[in-house]
Structure 1
Amino acid sequence: MRQLLPHSLTTRIAALVLVFLLAGMWSLAWYADRQLRQDMREQLQAQQQSVALLLGRELERTLHERASALQGVARGLPVPVQDHASTLQALLPRLTVLQQMFGGGFYVTDAQGMAMASHPLQLGPQRRGYAASRFIREALAGQTVIGDPMPGLAANMPIVVIATPVPGPGGAPAGVLAGVVRLRDAGLLQPLPAAEGQVASDYLVIDRRTRTVVAASAEQRVLQALPAAGQDAVLDRLLAGGDGSVIHPQPEQARLASVHHLTAVPWLVVVSQPLAPLLAPLDEVRQRIVLAALGLTLLAAGGLWWMLRRALAPLQQMGHRLAAMAEDGAPLQPLAPQPMRELAQLVRGCNHLLAELDQRQRALGESRQRYQAAFQISPDALDITRVSDGVHVDVNAGFERLFGWPREQVLGRSGLELGIWHASDTAVRAQFVQQVLSEGMAVGIEQQLYRRDGTPVTVQLSASLLDVAGEPCMLWVAHDVTAHRAARAHIHQLTSTDLLTGLPNVQQFLQQLGEVQAHCLQARRLAALLCVDVDDFKTINDSLGRDHGDQLLRQVAQRMGAGLAGQGSLARLGGDEFLVLLPDLPAPRGAAAHAAEALAHRLGALLGQPLEVEGTTHSISVGVGIVVLGESRQEPRELLRRAALALNQAKASGPGAVLLFEAQMQDQVSSRARLQRSLAEALQQHAFALHYQPQLDQHGAVVGVEALVRWHLQGHGMVSPAEFIPLAEKTGLIAPLGRWILHAACSQLARWAHVPGCSHLDMAVNVSAVQFQQEAFVEQVQEVLAQTGAPAARLKFELTESLMMYEIDSVIARMKALRALGLRFSLDDFGTGFSSLAYLKRLPLQQLKIDQGFVRDILDDHNDAAIARTVIALGESLGLEVIAEGVETEAHRDALQQWGCRLYQGYLFSRPLPVAQLGEFLQQRAGGPLPP
């Protein structure tokens, strides 16, 4: 007995002691290394944070000195106006203090941000206008501003500008004094000294707003852009947080970085050192500890391995025997007896089990094979669980597919542990199990279970009792009915009511519409479909909120339903549109239409009564489109489309309009769509032509022409500009069409420049407001002039008053840019639009054009005559030419000439002519008098 003890308890105690010894030794080594590193890091962080604080204070002091120097000088400067420019220029070179502080120079601007004087002198002309600079704008607002870092005038000279206001007579800023600090000049920050044997620290000064390096110990990094937000998490934390230290992992090596945020400017100082050299001594100590611990581990492990190998040799032999018997088809044989007590007990137990297994294996082999085959190939999810605790004994491939759990992770765990059953369903499961236990089986109940990823799955459950190795178990069959239930739910949703109003939805309404139409065709009766839209509902939604609009729609639905009083059915089409179906109307069509229109007006009057929502009273109007049906079979969706088309036409007529669908509406829409397609094709094929209408002076001489676009559509004839020009503006095709007209007109103008008798002609080209507002319009004009060689002085743009509805300053700037090229401007249709004298005097115009609507009736209408005389007098007072268009009779010409108009255009002289006929006209009119 004493000889057996070392082979059992001794081995176990030795192994346990070794485990505790190794665990304590390695834990102590780990703790010592961790504590040393933490202490070292805290000391380094405190030291480096002090350096960052000192650098930050030094930088703030330097900036404050420069800003204070600027403020002191600014208070003694003359007011920066044009009269003092020479005085300022002579004064600046004598400001030696500023010269020492601002190596990049300094300059003075006026109240508009324009440079008045600078030192050195070349700083002014090269940076003449500073009004767009942020620091100039803020300085003009009365603040001393430190600008963002930026490239300097010279290469490799990054700068930052400090600007302060120059007070005027009343104390308000009259200009700005700005100093340019070169970021690479000495005096801003100096490199950090390093102690002997230590690695020198690096520093960066960073602008948080622009993520740009302002100053650095390495000069080449100045003005370097740092990674954008989201690319470097540590950098983002430094920029967004307060003072502190972090370890910044980098591809080369990790660095210890300490940061100090400046208060005067949105800058921060970052001081960093490589972490590896600082922790090198600790790494050496850790290496020695690891080597010592490793040696002890190897020594202890070797002795333990030798001891356990001798003790476990019999167990290993038994394991080989059992493994061999576990192979398919291998016979079961008893194990050989062992002398050790523990092993002898184990051999006896194994031999007993082997005998039992051999007997059962022979009895159940055949039935098990049949069961396993049926179990595995079933498409449904099958699993066997113990009744006592619900633990899974076996599952098939269908179970793995349905629930997403692999078989090896399911066995030995219950459905509640796996999350297939939720705790809230415990009572339902217990009741189902009880039914199986009492009846032997249960069939066909639906239950929601859950897959491995948490998604629900609806199954139809069945279960029956089994006996597995003498223990009661349950065979569960789960058939997936999720898709079937989803299909039923989808069908129900399509046939259900509108969630907002409780009315039938579109799908249900279309089905009802088809049934009513079939009844009408069979009974020879008629019906009407009304499409109702709330006028200007978008304004209500935008101003009061969507929830308010939804409540209003519910009240509209309720009031319309009450107004129908069972005469028809009501549905919601979507948004603020409703559908009303009036069945069983009398023939003929006129009587049915009359009944539908009467109902539409009645509903409109009913909805016009006040509706109160959340304390706000609404009095709404509705547009109604009506379609009469039942005369012939139509698809329900086609009827719906026709009602919507009639509604659109009604809404175009104004609020509260009611319109009956007519066949010509469809024809108009189709014709417009065809015209739009043809217009796009014509632009691709350049299928347009220019005609030119002459413009004459009071002596009958042709002084210019107006280029007018003409379009001949194949199979259609000439399309009126009044028809396709608005279509082009609405569809966005006016821009490419305008570019083609400009290029064609300039090409013709370039050819006339070399033709005697034509070189003096001006070319007037109409430019739409949409085309003129394009950002690159000036560049497009320059490109066309360069390509065609047209003389810019002979090109005149005719602009309409609608252009003044845009941002007037940008319009004026664009006109001045074109005027600088030599072009001239004429204000077309003057007096018909937004005629503002305040804007008129600011526009660089050369000509006003009296609209033909005034010219046509000047002999009969006193108001038109007064307007024409006023325009002529206004043009004369402003020094502008005045031309009248639409001059059709000699009497018109004489009246205009008597009032002072000297330029004319109209059918009295000529219609718009192709270029060939225009040449003949010019020959006939050369030097001739005006027609009698």
Structure 2
Amino acid sequence: MAVLLGLLPTLLPILGLFGLYVAVLAVIPGARLRWRNVALALIFTGAMLYTLAYPFAVAPGVVLDARGAILGVAILFGGPWVGGITALAGCLFRLHLGGAGAVAGAFGLTLNLLGTLWLLRYQSRPLLAAQPFPAAMPRLAHPLRLGLLVGCWAGLAEALSLLLIPPWQQGWRLFVESGLTLAGVQLLGFFVMGSLLWTYHQRQLLELALRRAELDLLLERQERDERFEVIFEQAAVGIALVAPDGSLLKVNGKLCDILGLDRAELVARTFQAVTYPEDLDADLARVAQLLAGEIDTYQLEKRYLRGDGALVWANLTVSLVRHGDGRPHYFISFIEDISERKAYQQQISTLAFQDVLTELPNRRLFLDRLRYALVRSERSGLYGAILLLDLDHFKTLNDTQGHDVGDSFLQCIALRLRECVRAEDTVARLGGDEFVVILEGLAKDEARAASRAEQLAEQIRLAVGLPFSFERKNSPRVFQTTASVGISLFHGEQAALDDLLKHADLALYDAKAAGRNTLCFYNIEMQYALEIRAVIQSALYHAQELNELQIYAQPQVDRGGRLVGAELLLRWHHPMVGWISPNQFIPLAEETGTILSIGQWVLRSACQTLARWARQPQYAALTLSINVSIRQFRHAGFVDEVRTILAETGAPPARLKLEFTESIVIDNVDDTVRKMNQLRQMGIRFSMDDFGTGYSSLSYLKKLPLDQIKIDQSFIRDMTSDADDAAIVTAILSISRSLSLQVVAEGVETEAQQQFLYEHGCELYQGFLYGRPMPLAELEHFQQHVR
């Protein structure tokens, strides 16, 4: 008890260390850790020197004081550096005081320092360091336990140090009499201070947690506002915050760009003021639904008024933001500029339904309007008509003056057609130089309707025939053409659209066949001719495999009447229809592509015949001519096909003669010459058929590697009675001689024709006078009957 009472004067002031420690923590912020540690080091060092200056003497040179408690608190509250400075000051001062217990006292402080530091290290980090609120709790969950451990070790270290006081009997006596009391007093002091410090720190932790939560909320709100501002301003679409009355609370830069207004001008307006009037009602109706809670958001395509008065198409998306009590706060609107997309849509629509060149309805829109015209005709009982118009010789203008002049002419024709018809009628361009007109509401009587349609068609024909002026190479020029018009009447929905167009097309074909520059109505005979054509076309696909096609040969003789060769001609005998004229099925074969297989068959048959004749002296010198169609000649593999057939059959190429018309040459002269030269290298010869009927035949004589020309029978027929035909035949013969070209006269049927040709130097003849076309097998027996 004496020891306890002797220590109280030194222990009680030490309790003031807690107040000073708390004051330091409150005054010096945690960010200034160095200055806080310096202050704590001064406090604990001063306390250490104070307790050593006023000790309780238990024996000569042996004193008891609170140095161990002060050191433990310094390490516990201030950390290792503060504890180390305090321990160093205490050891030096105790050694300075001297006495029997000086070394033991210094050893006790050192043992206390090392043990406490080990406890703190064991628990990873000091809980109550100069930074009073560590980020992680130590392994001992309650800091009071740490204080008790440090207190126990501090008391035990000082008690054990008593054992070092010499002699050992005195040290043991002092340990027994005072050591346990000293340890208990220090433990009690640590318990009291640890409890107070724990309570204070818990309160500080709570306040700090609240402050940090408030700061986190503030930072989060600030970051959210900053993110909103960034998104708001950098958005790729216009954004506006709009009050319930329509005023603009906030707008971004993109919306200013879309509407062509600066921010101040735009915010000064309402959304109603910048909306196109015709679109405002739809927008306001959706706003009313939002306010009423019927919808959460709406999307609308609308037009805005730019600052310069132009219209802007936009895709608008609007949502309503409400207060916590449900009252409307503001609208948030997203405005995407879709003007470019709308322009593309309009362009696509124009391309889909309008002819780009003439701005007339195209075929698609024409069919749609014709469909409605039939419905209106059904309701009104009035006849209507389709006028199918084709410009005569338009290709000549395009080929001679260029497509730019041709396009200008078509635009001019479109304008003239519009001026000729009524407002309720439709003018459309189907393609190329083909136009169509829908006439509605003509009359209830068919005859009167036909008369009215004829009058309007005649007006159109005359309008098309007006001169068209243009400039070429700074020189004014004039082009004038005519038009062929096919007319088909309709009454209600009795006829299908396709049938009406076919009827008009048949009528147009008839108008062209009648010499062009005229108009014709559709009639039943045209339909019959169309059906016959369809039957022939269908049967043609199977004619070759059914062996209905036959090869005939018409003899060709020289001036002495000797057989020199023959022209192979194709004939078709249908088991149901009978003989079908080549003039009917050859054009169909060209259109359908069957001419390729047919032409190959004819070519192979001719080569097989020539190969067989080559082995018979009486026929070895004969030639065979076959007609090559334009489609066959332009086929990419034609030259290789001829080469293969010659090799397979062994026919002498020099006895094979290919005939073609100048239509093969017109489109691509260079390609024609290239192929002819390739064939000529094989030994094949060439003949131009129907010479004199084309407008540019003479120019081909010097370009093409020809061996022979055939004078068309249209000149031969009347040359003995028509001076012009006679002059043409004479000129052809003269030109051919000068160019070393062989001439064959076709269609020779009379002695007078033969005599005229003979006198003017014609070398070869072909016609009924020498023999009609006959099966190829009969040609071999024909030579003895030649005149």
The TM-score with structure 1 as length reference comes to 0.46
Q: Which residue of 2 aligns with 1:601?
A: 458
Q: How far off is 1:466 after superposition?
A: 3.1
Contact 1:338–1:347 (Cα < 8 Å) also in 2? no
**For residue 296 of structure 1, what is the aligned residue in structure 2?**
none
Counterpart-to-counterpart distance in 2, 1:662 and 1:315: 104
CA distance in 2, matches of 1:618, 1:699: 52
The 1:783/1:891 distance shift into structure 2, 3 A limit, reads same
Match of 2:552 in 1: 691
Q: Tell me the distance in 2 between the aligned counterparts of 1:701 and 1:610.
A: 57
The aligned residue for residue 208 of structure 2 is 346
Shift of 1:765: 2.2
CA offset digits 1:766-802 (Å, max 9, x no partner): 3346655667654433222111111223223334455
**Structure 2 counterpart of 1:560, one-letter code:** C
Q: Secondary structure at the match of 1:543?
A: helix
1:666 shift after superposition: 4.3
Question: 2:355 touches 2:429 (CA, 8 Å); kept in 1?
Answer: no
> 1:62-114: per-residue Cα shift (whole Å, max 9, x none)?
xxxxxxxxxxxxxxxxxxxxxxxxxxxxxxxxxxxxxxxxxxxxxxxxxxxxx
The residue type equivalent to 2:655 in the other structure is R
Shift of 1:758: 3.4
Query: Sequence identity, in percent?
Result: 32
Give the equivalent residue in structure 2 for 1:917.
778
1:185-242: per-residue Cα shift (whole Å, max 9, x none)?
A: xxxxxxxxxxxxxxxxxxxxxxxxxxxxxxxxxxxxxxxxxxxxxxxxxxxxxxxxxx
1:467 match: secondary structure: coil
What does 1:132-171 correspond to in 2, within 5 Å? none
CA 1:584/1:854 → structure 2, altered by over 3 Å: closer, same or farther? closer
Distance of 1:629 and 1:596 partners within structure 2: 11
Quick check: 1:740 aligned with 2:601?
Answer: yes
In structure 2, what is the equivalent of residue 628 of structure 1? 489
In the TM superposition, residue 689 of structure 1 has moved relative to its aligned partner by 3.1
What is the Cα deviation at residue 667 of structure 1? 4.5
- 1:442–1:464 CA contact under 8 A, matched in 2: no
Residue 605 of structure 2 aligns to a residue in which SS? helix
> Which residue does the alignment assign to 2:425?
569
Q: Distance in 2 between matches of 1:807 and 1:769?
A: 11
SS of residue in 2 equivalent to 1:750: helix
Change in CA separation of 1:431 and 1:447 when aligned onto 2, cut-off 3 Å: farther
Partner of 2:88: none
**Is structure 2 residue 437 aligned with structure 1 residue 579?**
yes
Shift of 1:660: 2.0
The one-letter code matched in structure 1 to 2:135 is L
- Shift, 1:914, TM fit: 2.0
- Say if 1:515 and 1:776 are closer, same or farther in 2 by CA, change over 3 A: closer
Higher radius of gyration, 1 or 2: 2
Deviation at 1:467, TM superposition (A): 0.4
State the 1:346 CA deviation. Answer: 2.0
Residue 135 of structure 2 corresponds to residue 315 of structure 1:
yes
Quote the residue 2:419 is aligned against.
Answer: 559
Q: Secondary structure at the match of 2:324?
A: strand
- The question of whether the paired residues in 1 share the 8 Å contact of 2:355 and 2:361 is answered with no
Between the aligned partners of 2:730 and 2:706, the Cα distance in structure 1 is 19
- Structure 2 counterpart of 1:657, one-letter code: T
User: In structure 2, how many angstroms separate the alpha carbons of the residues matched to 1:414 and 1:889?
Assistant: 99
Shift of 1:583: 0.8
Mapped to 1, the partners of 2:213 and 2:493 lie a distance apart of 93
Q: Does 1:718 align with 2:579?
A: yes
* 1:593, distance to aligned residue in structure 2 (A): 0.9
1:839-873: per-residue Cα shift (whole Å, max 9, x none)? 64776555454443344445444554555566556
Output the CA distance in 1 between the equivalents of 2:549 and 2:512: 34
Q: Distance in 2 between matches of 1:804 and 1:497?
A: 38
Matched, 1:822 2:680: no
Aligned-partner SS, 1:759: coil
- Structure 2 counterpart of 1:582, one-letter code: E
Query: In the alignment, which of 775, 783, 792 is matched to residue 644 of structure 2?
Result: 783
- Alignment partner of 1:752 out of 610, 613, 625: 613
CA offsets, 1:575-605, max 9 Å, x none?
6835342315142x33321221012223444
Q: How many Å separate the matches in 2 of 1:826 and 1:348?
A: 110
Residues in 2 aligned to 1:542 and 1:705: alpha-carbon distance in whole angstroms:
44
Moved more, 823-832 or 742-751: 823-832
| SS of equivalent to 1:583 | coil
The match for 2:96 is: none
> Cα gap change, 1:888/1:529 in structure 2, threshold over 3 Å: closer, same or farther?
closer
Alpha-carbon distance between aligned partners in 1 of 2:487 and 2:604, rounded to the nearest angstrom:
48
Give the drift of 1:692.
1.9
SS of residue in 2 equivalent to 1:758 = coil
Q: How does 1:110-125 map to 2 (within 5 A)?
A: none
Q: CA offsets, 1:273-312, max 9 Å, x none? A: xxxxxxxxxxxxxxxxxxxxxxxxxxxxxxxxx9999979
Whichever structure has more helix as a proportion of its residues is 2
Aligned alpha-carbon RMSD (Å) = 6.0
The 1-side partners of 2:522 and 2:663 are apart by 35
What is residue 323 of structure 2 aligned with on the other side? 466
The alignment covers a number of residue pairs equal to: 551
Does the 8 A contact of 1:466 with 1:473 survive in 2?
yes
CA deviation vs aligned residue, 1:623-677 (integer Å, no higher than 9, x gap): 5432222277234565456446545654676765333233444444455455455
**Structure-1 residue corresponding to 2:12:** none
List aligned pairs for 1:76-475, cutoff 5 A.
314-316=134-136, 339=201, 343=205, 345-349=207-211, 418-419=235-236, 421=239, 423-424=255-256, 447-448=300-301, 458=315, 461=318, 463=320, 465-467=322-324
Evaluate the alpha carbon distance shift between residue 610 and residue 681 of structure 1 in structure 2; reply closer, same or farther with a 3 A threshold.
Answer: same
Give the aligned partner of residue 748 of structure 2: 887
Equivalent position of 1:268 in the other structure: none
Verify the 8 A CA contact 1:442 1:463 in the aligned structure 2: no
Question: Which of these residues, 573, 592, 608, is aligned with residue 449 of structure 2?
Answer: 592
Determine the C-alpha separation between the residues in 1 that align with 2:530 and 2:625: 34
Pair 1:764-2:584 in alignment: no
Could you say if the C-alpha distance between residues 675 and 340 of structure 1 is closer, same or farther in structure 2, counting changes exceeding 3 Å? farther
SS in 1 for 2:520: strand
Letter of the 1:315 partner, please give it: A
Q: Which residues of structure 1 form unaligned runs of 5+?
A: 14-305, 322-335, 357-387, 393-408
**Shift in CA distance, 353/685, structure 1 to aligned 2, threshold 3 Å:** farther
Q: 1:814 to 1:416 in 2, by over 3 A?
A: closer
Gaps of 5+ in 2: 1-20, 37-123, 142-197, 240-253, 274-283, 304-311
Distance 1:658 1:694, change over 3 A: closer
For residue 585 of structure 1, give the secondary structure of its aligned residue in structure 2: coil
Q: Which amino acid aligns with 1:785?
A: L
3-state SS of 2:135 partner: helix
- 1:510 is displaced (CA, Å) by 6.6
Partner Cα separation in structure 1 for residue 623 and residue 355 of structure 2? 66
- 1:69 corresponds in structure 2 to none
| Structure-2 residue corresponding to 1:709 | 570
Q: Give me the whole-angstrom Cα distance separating, in 2, the residues matched to 1:796 and 1:12.
A: 119
**1:691–1:708: 8 Å Cα contact kept in structure 2?**
yes
Mapped to 1, the partners of 2:497 and 2:507 lie a distance apart of 16
In structure 1, distance between residues paired with 2:568 and 2:536:
23
> Conserved in 1, the CA contact under 8 Å of 2:320 and 2:329?
no
What's the CA shift string for 1:21-56, capped at 9, x where partnerless?
Answer: xxxxxxxxxxxxxxxxxxxxxxxxxxxxxxxxxxxx
Partner of 1:288: none
SS in 2 for 1:591: helix
CA contact (8 A) 2:376 2:492 kept: no
Quickly say closer, same or farther: Cα 1:751–1:592, change in 2 above 3 A.
Answer: same
Report deviation, 1:529.
3.7
